[in-house]
Structure 1
Amino acid sequence: MDDAPEGNHPFLTYGNVGIAAAFVVLDVSVSFVLKLGVGTSLLISAVRCVIQLSLMGLVLDKIFATKHPAAVFGLAALLMLLGTLETTIDKCKTRFRYMFPSVLFAFVCSVMPISIIGSIFAIKNVPFWTPDQYVPILGMLCGTTISALVVVITATLKELHDNKDKTETMLAMGATRYEACLPIAKDSLTLALTPVINQMSVLGIISIPGLMSGAILGGSSVEQAAKLQMIMMFLIASSTALATIVITVIALSIVVDPEHRLRSDRIDTRDVAVHRAFFAAVHGIAYEFRRISDRVFGLKKEDDEEHERLLG
């Protein structure tokens, strides 16, 4: 039966998910009524969440069943590739030249070594790639790293694009690109790492983190759950910091070249080509629909006028 408990845990169905989703629908309704402009994004994200987690559940079932390192590392490569696509195509509205390989490089340099070393030495998984232990670590590192990368890239490129006169003045007065870019890097990294730093500072006092709650619900002792949360928080913070530092250095090195010149031509503020093609197609369809509607209703209006003229 759907309501039958599984061990000490209730068996959840999509009906339970729907109850939780009702609160999201309420927020969307409030946004539409007050015209706040966040309802559509919230609704799309909620739908994506359901679809993506459902698919992820099917994939993880297969990977956990195989217990083969090739499947685990294949999933790791897929997660980092999707994370790179999400960062470069969907989340970042401003991009720089060679952004895709740069973001992928930042992912590989931060998430992979920290997840592997943390799994081996901090969590002591044997083998370290054990699917039900390593995959959740990898997923949490990737998720937090994506958010930080988006923030640091957006802040860095916005400063270089909007306040380029300031940077160009410093370079013209003899500053090296390191000296001219250091304040930008500091501000961008501070902005990107503030959520992680704040999260670490309030754990255990103001909030009980999800991982710790999950471990307790899974039957672990509170002490062990707390230690696991500490380990994961440190892994997340280190991965996020390393990835943001790497991508900031790469972005600044590309936009400000070795000749100490600001290359604004290497910053692209246009929509991604995929988005431009999509919007062009939508606008084309809308234009044709409006043209056909005008013809149909225009003819109908002419017929009505002719009918009224004959009657009158």
Structure 2
Amino acid sequence: LSWQNVGIAATLLGFNVLLSLWLGLGLSTSLIVAAVRCVVQLTVLGMVLKQIFLTQNPVYIFGMTLVLGVLAAFEVTYWRSKRRFPWMFHGTLAAIMGSALMVALFGNAYSLNMSPAYTATKFIPTIGMLFGNCMIGVSIGMGSVMDSLDTHRDRVEAMLCYGATRWEVTQPVVVEALRTALLPTITNMSITGLISIPGVMTGWILGGADVLQAARYQQIILFMISASTASSTLFAVVFCAFTLVDGSPKLRLDRLIFRK
């Protein structure tokens, strides 16, 4: 494929721009910026990955993993969230990196039969998908915790006044946040193969792989995504809840910083 092919596909975005201008959505500039970012980011990523795949150096592989994890945590903390709190970036990074790394190494070693488990051609694309889904789950989960504690602050403070423990106050909030955050992943698994053909399977088929092998690979990836999203979201929402309800225990909504 050439840049001409990419340019032809990009003309399809004209409909989105015209729709935004016609209905006054105010999204035309954001759409163009997003499209430019998409092209630049994927081009740079392709150039970097090409060199990493050629060298198969573990230092470069895990260095790339760290960069992707930091970018995911930064996206959640400073772009997706309207509010943040002290150490939110660090907690998000630990949640996403820890969960995705463990699941990726386990899945590559035992499900995908890769040796070593960090073989660049499989490990980096896999952990990239895990980071993307963890990022969505963590963002939704922490947003739910902050919204819930803010909306029900009177009830939370009343429970604390009557002697409720930190966990007794935060448990319903954590449970609801997890339920909300994991619903997209569950929905995605339930419709895969029935309504939609997912990206990984599509890529394998377009690359000429056996269809059944592509289906099994997609199943493995979906199960890895589900596990990493659940574990990262659990860590993140508990971290968020315990930051906003301290060990006293006391509700600390004053720790929330609103994005300007």
Q: TM-score, normalised by structure 1?
A: 0.80
> Which of 259, 268, 277 matches 2:257?
268
SS where residue 97 of structure 1 aligns?
coil
Q: How does 1:206-217 map to 2 (within 5 A)?
A: 206-217=195-206
- Paired with 1:132 and 1:32, the residues of 2 have a C-alpha distance of 42
Alignment partner for residue 231 of structure 2, among 211, 234, 242?
242
Separation in structure 2 between the aligned mates of residue 207 and residue 124 of structure 1, nearest angstrom: 27
Partner of 1:19: 8
How far, CA to CA, are the matches of 2:187 and 2:45 in structure 1? Answer: 29
Q: In the TM superposition, what are the counterparts of 1:198-237 in structure 2 within 5 Å?
A: 198-237=187-226
Contact 1:88 1:100 in 2 (8 A): yes
Kindly report which structure 2 residues correspond to 1:121-200, keeping only aligned pairs within 5 A, or say none: 121-200=110-189
Aligned-pair CA distance for 1:53: 0.4
The higher-RCO structure (CA 8 Å, 6+ apart) is: 2
Gaps of 5+ in 2: none
Moved more, 248-257 or 25-34: 25-34
Q: Distance in 2 between matches of 1:28 and 1:236?
A: 33
Q: What corresponds to 1:60 in structure 2?
A: 49
Q: Give the aligned partner of residue 113 of structure 1.
A: 102
Cα distance between partner residues in 2 of 1:49 and 1:69 = 27
Q: Which SS does the other structure have where 2:136 is aligned?
A: helix
1:52-105 residue CA offsets vs partner (Å, 9 max, x unmatched):
101101100111111111110110011101111111111111111111111111
Distance in 1, Cα, partners of 2:157 & 2:38: 43
Q: In the alignment, which of 67, 73, 79 is matched to residue 84 of structure 1? A: 73
Q: CA RMSD in A?
A: 1.3
Equivalent residue letter for 1:70: V
Amino acid at match of 2:256: I
- Report the AA paired with residue 20 of structure 1: A
Q: Which runs of 5+ in 1 are unaligned?
A: 1-11, 272-312
Higher-Rg member (1/2): 1
Displacement of 1:28: 1.8
Given that 1:25 and 1:43 are in contact with CA atoms closer than 8 Å, whether structure 2 keeps it comes out as no
Q: Following superposition of structure 1 onto structure 2, how do residues 31-110 of structure 1 map, counting pairs within 5 Å? A: 31-110=20-99
Between 177-186 and 75-84, the greater mean CA deviation after superposition: 177-186
The count of residues paired between Structure 1 and Structure 2 equals 260
Q: Distance in 2 between matches of 1:79 and 1:25?
A: 30
* Partner residue in 2 for 1:275: none
Give the CA deviation at 1:150: 1.3
Q: Is the 8 A contact 1:84 1:100 kept in 2?
A: yes
- The answer on whether the counterparts of 1:28 and 1:42 sit within 8 Å (CA) in structure 2 is yes
